[in-house]
Amino acid sequence: MSGEALVAAEIRTLVRVSCLLRMLTLLASLVGFVDQTLTLKAIVAIVFLTSTSMVGVSDPQVPALLQRHPILVVCDSLVMTALMVALGTDNPLVLVGLSSCIIIGVVLRPLPAALSTVTMVCGYLAASLTTGAEGTFLADFGFPVTFVCVVVLGQVFRRLAEQKRQSERAVADLISGTVTAEERARLARELHDGTAKTLQGLVLSAQSLPVWIDRDPDRARVEASSIAAAADDAVVRLRGLLSTLRQDDLSQPFHESLAAIARDRTHDHPQIKLRLNLNPVELTAPSVRYELLAAAREALDNAVAHSGTDRIAVHLTSGDDGEVFVEVTDAGCGFTSDILPERERAGHFGVRGYSERLTTIGGRADVDSQPGRGTRVRFVAPRMGLRETTDA
């Protein structure tokens, strides 16, 4: 997301805090009416301020609405100015104007923020002059100066949030370029070591097939079956590489990419019922995104190829401490850990590959499997990757 969109969580939170501050300030101001008679103007002001405060606090969509339609903030400042003029500066409700200044500072651009601030200051000064009561320097000028300072602080916060967003995007672009170069090299190795050797074997087997047809038809049938199996393996490998290439689209939300991979890996197996429970999780580090997607793809491939299951589930959640959790579970045959060395000797390094992938981004992979009770593969990674770890 760009800084211009202004959807940073910090700003949304500050807008909601401003609405809460408006409500608390309103409650504090009502104490000042204990020994006063409520006028119609005061009642209208209290109703307006109470309703806007409650909506801002209770509805989480309000901050986003104000960011999409900043004219609402301008209208709020104009209404607040009108209330000050109508009620006078000696009215306790003037304190509520501070919350409007915070929202002006963090939501509006510099020019409209400055115009709204000037309007409120002029309204306050006009109200102060028409009140008639003898004022003080603090009452006449302290509040206007405070309004300006609060708006300026809001603008500074807004600018820092935009710079943070731009810095994160620059870092993400830099990491993305590095990851892309590394992935191209990895793809080249896999093409050479895996698919290219498979295709070379297919060529040699196909060249010898006519000889076996003449000499030994039974052996020819066996060789033909081997060629078909090798061709299927080459297709699977190429599909895996193409799927990996599609993962480089950083513009696609992570949960959508994960869902696309899960559907792709189970597409050719209609007997498998795929269940997806994916919460939208924003990943700012392309390396974390890539390794989690690649590990999930391998876990899905293993579940489809070896578990004999008809049910696979994929879960995506996030933790309060900035961790991302991806789980791939199946209801298949399961296995015991003592068979892993034998499978690695046969060229299957799935479980070790999980750990190696997650280690590069500061995460970990946990595999829980029991014979007859299925398998659960759980990947845990920090959003930004490369978390510092200490030995126990």
Judge contact between 31 and 195, C-beta under 8 A.
no
List residues bridging with 364 in a β-sheet: 380
d(CA 112, CA 100): 14
Residue 194 lies in a domain: no
AA identity, residue 54: M
Judge contact between 300 and 314, C-beta under 8 A.
yes
Residue 324 lies in a domain: yes
pTM of model > 0.75: no
Same-domain pairing of 276 and 369 = yes
* Number of domains composing the chain: 2
- Which tokens in the block code for residue 368? 């829980």
What local confidence, expressed as pLDDT, does residue 374 receive? 87
Residue 292 lies in a domain: yes
Same-domain pairing of 52 and 165 = yes
Residue 318 lies in a domain: yes
Same-domain pairing of 26 and 150 = yes
Tell me the residue length of the chain: 392
294: domain CATH number is 3.30.565.10
d(CA 125, CA 71): 24
How many alpha carbons lie under 13 Å from residue 50 in its C-beta half-sphere? 10
Given a cut of 70, the residues of the chain with pLDDT beneath it are: 1-9, 35-36, 131-139, 168, 171-198, 236-237, 239-250, 284, 337-352, 385-392
Judge contact between 290 and 247, C-beta under 8 A.
yes
Judge contact between 89 and 124, C-beta under 8 A.
yes
Q: Which of 169, 191, 211 is the last residue of a domain?
A: 169
Structural domain of residue 322, as residue ranges? 252-392
What local confidence, expressed as pLDDT, does residue 347 receive? 44
What local confidence, expressed as pLDDT, does residue 33 receive? 72
Same-domain pairing of 136 and 38 = yes
Same-domain pairing of 145 and 45 = yes
What local confidence, expressed as pLDDT, does residue 175 receive? 58
Same-domain pairing of 282 and 165 = no
Same-domain pairing of 162 and 277 = no
Q: How far is CA 328 from the centre of its chain?
A: 20
What are the distances in angstroms from CA 116 to CA 7, 50, 77?
Answer: 22, 22, 6
Residue 218 lies in a domain: no
What local confidence, expressed as pLDDT, does residue 267 receive? 84
- Which tokens in the block code for residue 88? 């006078």
Residue 191 lies in a domain: no
Same-domain pairing of 41 and 139 = yes
Question: Crossing angle of helices 217-246/286-306, nearest 10°?
Answer: 150
What local confidence, expressed as pLDDT, does residue 392 receive? 35
Residue 256 lies in a domain: yes
Q: Which of 103, 134, 169 is the last residue of a domain?
A: 169
What local confidence, expressed as pLDDT, does residue 195 receive? 66
List residues bridging with 274 in a β-sheet: 312
d(CA 174, CA 169): 9
Question: Crossing angle of helices 71-87/97-107, nearest 10°?
Answer: 160
Pairing of strands 323-330, 311-318: antiparallel
Closest CA relative to residue 294, chosen from 363, 371, 198: 363
The SS3 assignment for 307 reads coil
Residue 382 lies in a domain: yes
Same-domain pairing of 386 and 268 = yes
Largest Cα–Cα separation, the chain: 119
What are the distances in angstroms from CA 372 to CA 15, 219, 328, 333?
Answer: 53, 38, 17, 5
- Which tokens in the block code for residue 353? 């590959």
